[in-house]
Amino acid sequence: MKPTYIYTALIDVLTYRYRLEQDQKNGELTFKEDLQGALSIFDEINGAVFGVQAISDTIIMTCNNHDNFIEFLGVLKSVFIAFLDKGLFIRGGVAYSRHFENGRLTYSHAVARAHELEDKSAIYPRIIIDENIVGMYSSSAELPNLEGQSLLVKQNGVFFLNVVDEGNWEEIYQVTAQIYQRDRDTIVKKEKAFSKHSWFENYLFAMKKQELEKDRYIEQMEIV
């Protein structure tokens, strides 16, 4: 079988190890239940169109048809929100490249590139879209138009999935504020962990409509 080209999203569940250790320490299954609840979103996804494989803290999703790519982005948005609703941040990368799978063998440039984007570029709770995909859609008259769909955000030359819209802004605000309050004591002086909350709050307020009056939930800098 010859390698084919597919879209691959590789998603990482943030704080997976910490939450697992907390369950073990407290003799609870809270994280297991949250994880199961979030993963139930995949019961609603058409498995004939989108492949899904979950291993430990990593989820790999695939799409092998250009015609379904915009729907694929919509599915990824639903997955992101499903994990948020269970108090879990995720981050990931989406790539389009060669992929070969046959029995025990999986040889995939797409998976490797998606992992590279997740590991080196995503950094914060977001799903990076490879700029090659954006360029491919911008330059081809045969592919659907990605612009004007409100599915992508660009900052500092990086494209990532927009999970916020007019209908869910306040819900996401409430959920992420609760996640921050839950984690607040455990991330004091831990800048890497804090930066994930801070980045997402900044993103959320960058997407806010002017008429929405909401206070930031993270304390701002102050002179002492």
Question: pLDDT for 197-213, tens place per residue?
Answer: 999 999 999 998 876 78
pLDDT-derived band of residue 2, with 50, 70 and 90 as boundaries?
Answer: low
pLDDT digit string (tens) for 138-179? 898 888 888 778 899 999 999 999 999 999 999 999 999 999
pLDDT-derived band of residue 3, with 50, 70 and 90 as boundaries?
Answer: low
The single-letter code of the amino acid at 76 is L
Which one, of 141, 194, 210, lies nearest residue 14 by Cα?
194
Distance CA 201, CA 156 (A): 17
3-state SS class at 190:
coil
pLDDT digit string (tens) for 72-111? 999 999 999 999 999 999 999 999 999 887 777 677 899 9
Q: Return the sign of the alpha-carbon dihedral for residues 76, 81, 85, 91.
A: positive
pTM of the model: 0.94
Query: Mean pLDDT for the chain?
Result: 92
User: CB burial class (10 A; 0-12, 13-18, 19+) of residue 75?
Assistant: buried
97 and 110 in contact (C-beta within 8 Å)? Answer: yes
Q: Return the sign of the alpha-carbon dihedral for residues 171, 172, 174, 175.
A: positive
214 and 208 in contact (C-beta within 8 Å)? Answer: yes
The pLDDT score that the predictor gives to residue 107 is: 75
Q: E strands along 57-147, which residues?
A: 58-63, 90-102, 105-108, 127-129
Distance CA 125, CA 118 (A): 10
Paired tokens of 161: 């999935």
Which residues, at least 6 apart from 174, have a Cβ–Cβ distance to it below 8 Å?
none
